[in-house]
Structure 1
C-alpha cells in the first residue's frame, strides 16, 4: 500500500504594518492557520480572517479587536512592552512551531526602521527549517537558506541580498547567473537581476539570501 502523501502546513502571519490588500487576501490558501502580531489582529479581523493566536505586547491593537478575538476563541499571548523582540519576531517563533511554510502579510508601510527590522528578522538563520516569504505591497521577499524556487515570470526583476554575512549562491534562470559564488552583504552586485525562465532557482550553500521581487 502506498504511503499517504504528507501535507505541508502553511501559516499566515499578519503583521501590524499596512493592512493587507484584498488581492493578497484572495491569494492566500483556503482556511489558513493565522497568527496575528499585535495590531495585525485588527488587520486580520478586518480582512475576514480568524487568528488562531494573537501575540505581542498588545500596545497597538484596538480593544474592540481584542474583544472580538477572545469571543471567537483566539488565544491571546501577551508579552511585556519592555522586551527584546519585536511582535513580528514573537509571531514567527510561534508560527515556526506549527508550519512548513510561512507567508507574512502586513509587514510593509509605516516606519522605515520597522521595515528594515522586519526584513532582518525574516532572514534569521533560526527559521532555516521553514520556507518564509513576505508579501510587501507590490513586492515579494523570499528567504533562501538552502534551495528555493521563485514564483516569477520571465522578465521579472529579481534582486539578491546576502543577509548577516557573505552567502555562497548558485542561480539558474537568471540573466546574470551566480555559480557557487560568494555574494557579499556590503555590495550591490545582486541588485536588479532578471528572470529569463519561469520559476528561477536559488541554491544557497552558505549563509542566507533575501530575494526581493519588486
Structure 2
C-alpha cells in the first residue's frame, strides 16, 4: 500500500506525532511544512512551494536535508498545499493524509478542507484525510460507508455539503437515523458516536463532510 503524507504550514502545535503515521509513508512538505517534518526528525521525500514563509537560514537547512525540491513563484494560481496535493495524486497512492492544514486562518482552513473535493472526484480511487490533534476529516459521496471505532476520535459529525442529503441511514450509532433528509445547515447528524466497534452510514444523494473529533479538553 502506497500512502502519501502532506504537511502544510499551519500552526505547528496542531500537528500530531507523525511517527504514528510514518510506516510506508512518502512525505511531501508544502513550504514551511518541510521544517515541521524536520522538527519531527522526518526527512521529506519531496519539498514544494514558493518558500516565502521561511528564512534564508531555514532555506539553507532545507537544501542540505532534502534531495527533491521544486520551487514555484510567489505569484501563482495554486496554493503551496494544492501543488503538494497534485504531486501526491500523481503518485496514485491508496491514501493521502494532510497535516498542518487546520487551526490557523479560517479562510485557509476552509479552502484546505475543500481540497478534499479533488480527491472525492477520483471515484474513490484515493482516500483523502485531514488530521490534526483534535480532528479527523474526510469527504464522502453517496453510498454505504463503514466506520470503525477510534478511541482517539470518538465524537462523530456528518455535515451536509450539498443542498440536500437524501435517505441518510445510520446503523450502530447512539443516535440512529433511517432514510432521513438533511438540508444544508442541518445539525441533525452532529455530535454522534458509535455504540460498538463498528457502524455504517449510507445515503443516496449529496456529499457529507465526516468529522471525527476528540472532545476531551486538554
Is the pair's TM-score, using the shorter chain for normalization, greater than 0.5?
Answer: yes
Instruction: Tell me whether 1:9 sits opposite 2:2 in the alignment.
Output: yes
Aligned-partner Cα distance in 2 for 1:152–1:69: 35
Aligned residues of 1:155 and 1:195 also touching (Cα < 8 A)? no
Aligned-partner Cα distance in 2 for 1:54–1:81: 15
Alignment partner of 2:132 out of 129, 136, 149: 136
Other-structure match for 1:111: 105
| Range moving further from structure 2, 115-124 or 16-25 | 16-25
Aligned-partner Cα distance in 1 for 2:150–2:198: 6
Other-structure match for 1:177: 176
Instruction: Tell me whether 1:186 sits opposite 2:181 in the alignment.
Output: no
Instruction: Tell me whether 1:149 sits opposite 2:147 in the alignment.
Output: yes
Other-structure match for 2:39: 46
- Residues 46-125 of structure 1 correspond to what in structure 2 (within 5 A)? 46-98=39-91, 99-124=93-118, 125=120
Other-structure match for 2:216: none
Measured at CA, do residues 24 and 71 of structure 1 come closer, stay the same or move farther in structure 2, by a change above 3 Å?
A: same
Structure 1: where are the runs of 5+ without partners? Answer: 1-7
TM-score (norm 1): 0.81
Aligned residues of 1:52 and 1:75 also touching (Cα < 8 A)? yes
Aligned residues of 1:123 and 1:143 also touching (Cα < 8 A)? yes
Other-structure match for 2:20: 27
Aligned residues of 1:131 and 1:143 also touching (Cα < 8 A)? no
Other-structure match for 1:161: 159
Q: Per-residue CA shift, 1:77-97, capped at 9, x if unaligned? A: 222322332222221121122
Aligned residues of 2:134 and 2:153 also touching (Cα < 8 A)? no
What is the CA-CA distance between 1:100 and the residue it aligns to? 0.7
Measured at CA, do residues 154 and 199 of structure 1 come closer, stay the same or move farther in structure 2, by a change above 3 Å?
A: farther
| Range moving further from structure 2, 51-60 or 13-22 | 13-22
Q: Which of the two has greater strand per residue?
A: 2
SS in 2 for 1:68: helix
What is the CA-CA distance between 1:153 and the residue it aligns to? 4.3
TM-score (norm 2): 0.80
How many residues are matched?
A: 207
Structure 2: where are the runs of 5+ without partners? Answer: 214-218
